[in-house]
Structure 1
Amino acid sequence: MPVARKPLRGRVAVVTGAARGLGAAMTRVLVERGATVALLGREETTLARVKDSLPAGSAACWEADVTDDRAMSRVGAEIRARLGSPSVVIANAGVAEGGPFAESDPAVWRRVIEVNLIGSAVTARTFLPDLFDTRGYFLQVASLASIGAAPMMSAYCASKAGAESFAHALRAEVAHRRVGVGIAYINWTDTDMVRDADEHAVLRELRGHMPSPARKVFPAAYVAERLVSAVERRRASVYVPRWLRSTQLVRAAMPPVVTWLSRRELPRLTAAEPFSATGLLGAGGRADQGAGTDDPAY
């Protein structure tokens, strides 16, 4: 994907987790910058609503589970036939849960790993042939949780650290094929997942005990603009907010500091309000549990 004045014009981009939140926001920015976008997600009706909010012909949508190899292979073939080979693939689909690991539901804990890590790998496997042909770019949406693990978020932290490591390995494997691989490290973003997190004491307290800059929630549109700009420049990494880059310098020191704080604070916090598992967070998490339906019961 050669660098041009408007590098996304005429390109085909794929965004997973595009039904809402950051995925939908990135879709809008990609279209504004000239790309045709394939929206993938679990909520067919919500995906269609996002597509219909965009200029006619600028996007198409597919309901798919990113952890399902066969479904993703089918969708990949349909995207190629309808839109052409993608030059940009953004692995954004993700779910989260909170609560003590010992009391977590094994199926929910496993699902977080499957969507955030295995789903990213399935997405890459599906579209790598296209990226080889177009010399394209793959963006893995990661998190501050990839750098510094936190208590009560074991599945999410493990999955995002794994996704980061996967992206590093993939970058090394495909560099000679002129395919770029980037990692997006983002902090709190104003999505239904984060808003739902604040309704649960376990996660509300977690965010509340972070340093003030780390507690700030950024609008999804702002984060989307930053990430799409990184796509245009084929960045190896992008940090939102920018100060997150500095955490890489103290990465090795973070686990003992987190352990020390947790040993001091968790007994006091649990005495005031016992923590319990949250289940999958947000409307997107409920849709995933409901196998992609838009039934409000899920």
Structure 2
Amino acid sequence: MEGRVAVVTGAARGLGQGLAHELSCRGARVALVGLEDGRLARLAADLPGVAAHWTVDVTDADQLATAAEGIRATLGTPSVVVANAGVALGGPLLNCHTDTWRRVIDVNVVGSALTARCFLPDLLRTRGYYLQVTSMAALAPAPLLTAYCASKSGAEAFAHALRAEVVHRGVGVGVAYLNWADTAMIRAADETVVFRELRSHLPWPASVVHDPAPYVRAMVRGIERRSAHVYAPPWLRGAQAARALLPSVVAHRSRRIFADRGESPLPPTGLLGPGGAAAAPSRPGRPDRPYTRLEE
């Protein structure tokens, strides 16, 4: 990584912050991209190597293009891009507000695609590497996480399709599959009724929250090796192998769990954590609340 320019989206917190630090320690010139300007500025100042930050909503193509120009001028041409920016929402589909549900799809899928499209000319010039951060949710469906599962599955499929488009031009594309990591988003999730209900019924080891440091190291190894797949923790390889069976298993288990629970309401969480608050759609006076249908 020595001397390479690496772009990390969603860099203000959690895994993105950890990735930025680890890449910087390995000699990369790191471009921090995210929504929380103050945190990004402090992180850029604290990293051991050369770094700079850009405040960008990854769903805005114009903001991304402006940032890309600034990165090239300030740090050089990127050869590594990590699409890590993501948000999460929990709750029954009927109770989730349309704007918030759509925002998860916009950030996690559209934002990833726009990020890749914006920096692809750089990766073609450098024969670089693009890493798409996804989740166990791309491998196994989960009730109460319809937007998140759809978005992570969509981001995974996007990355696989992109790899097929650019592999002959020397660009590597990888997908990182991660389980629960101890980040601000997951800590906020565990304070909600929805996620306590969800995690209480997950089997071991899927229910375990891990230190994010091994996840960061696994992703950096994947970047250095230009890996097509990164699994953290490693047992997710088994979930990949069994993914054709998982929808039926989850549906069977959920039928019993929700039947036993009855009709007790499960309120939607809104976008989770401080990063979710920064990315929340602007809807003054319209907080998440139960609806009988998704409204336009």
What is the TM-score normalised by the length of structure 1?
Answer: 0.92
Alpha-carbon shift at residue 274 of structure 1 (Å): 2.5
Residue 287 of structure 1 pairs with residue 262 of structure 2: no
Amino acid at match of 1:236: A
Aligned counterparts, 1:21-170, within 5 A: 21-55=14-48, 58-170=50-162
Other-structure match for 1:210: 202
Q: 1:73 to 1:270 in 2, by over 3 A?
A: farther
Amino acid at match of 2:15: L
Amino acid at match of 2:72: R
Alpha-carbon shift at residue 252 of structure 1 (Å): 1.1
Alpha-carbon shift at residue 270 of structure 1 (Å): 5.0
Q: 1:230 to 1:270 in 2, by over 3 A?
A: farther
Task: Give the whole-Å Cα distance in 1 for the aligned partners of 2:192 and 2:8.
Answer: 29
Name which of 185, 192, 207 aligns with 2:184. 192
- Structure 1 range deviating more: 259-268 or 187-196: 259-268
Deviations 1:80-133 (Å, cap 9, x if unpaired)? 011110010000000000000011100000000000000000000110000000
Amino acid at match of 2:59: T
Unaligned runs of 5+ in 1: 1-7, 292-298
Alpha-carbon shift at residue 269 of structure 1 (Å): 3.1
Structure 1 residue runs of 4 or more that deviate by more than 3 Å after TM superposition: none
Task: Give the whole-Å Cα distance in 2 for the aligned partners of 1:232 and 1:270.
Answer: 49
Residue 275 of structure 1 pairs with residue 262 of structure 2: no
Aligned-residue identity in percent: 56
Deviations 1:163-203 (Å, cap 9, x if unpaired)? 00000000000001100000000000111111111111111
Name which of 243, 250, 253 aligns with 1:251. 243
Contact 2:99 2:281 in 1 (8 A): no
- Partner secondary structure for residue 205 of structure 2: helix
Task: Give the whole-Å Cα distance in 1 for the aligned partners of 2:167 and 2:243.
Answer: 26
Amino acid at match of 2:7: V
Amino acid at match of 2:111: G
Alpha-carbon shift at residue 212 of structure 1 (Å): 1.5
- Partner secondary structure for residue 245 of structure 2: helix
CA RMSD of aligned residues (A): 1.1
Task: Give the whole-Å Cα distance in 2 for the aligned partners of 1:44 and 1:192.
Answer: 17
Alpha-carbon shift at residue 267 of structure 1 (Å): 3.1
- Structure 1 range deviating more: 92-101 or 216-225: 216-225
* Higher helix content, 1 or 2: 1
Alpha-carbon shift at residue 256 of structure 1 (Å): 1.1
Alpha-carbon shift at residue 290 of structure 1 (Å): 7.2
What is the TM-score normalised by the length of structure 2?
Answer: 0.93
Deviations 1:203-232 (Å, cap 9, x if unpaired)? 112112111111111112221111011100
Task: Give the whole-Å Cα distance in 2 for the aligned partners of 1:214 and 1:248.
Answer: 13
Task: Give the whole-Å Cα distance in 1 for the aligned partners of 2:246 and 2:280.
Answer: 33
Task: Give the whole-Å Cα distance in 2 for the aligned partners of 1:75 and 1:267.
Answer: 50
Task: Give the whole-Å Cα distance in 2 for the aligned partners of 1:106 and 1:266.
Answer: 23
Unaligned runs of 5+ in 2: 283-296
- Partner secondary structure for residue 73 of structure 2: helix
- Partner secondary structure for residue 213 of structure 1: coil
Count of aligned pairs between the two proteins: 282
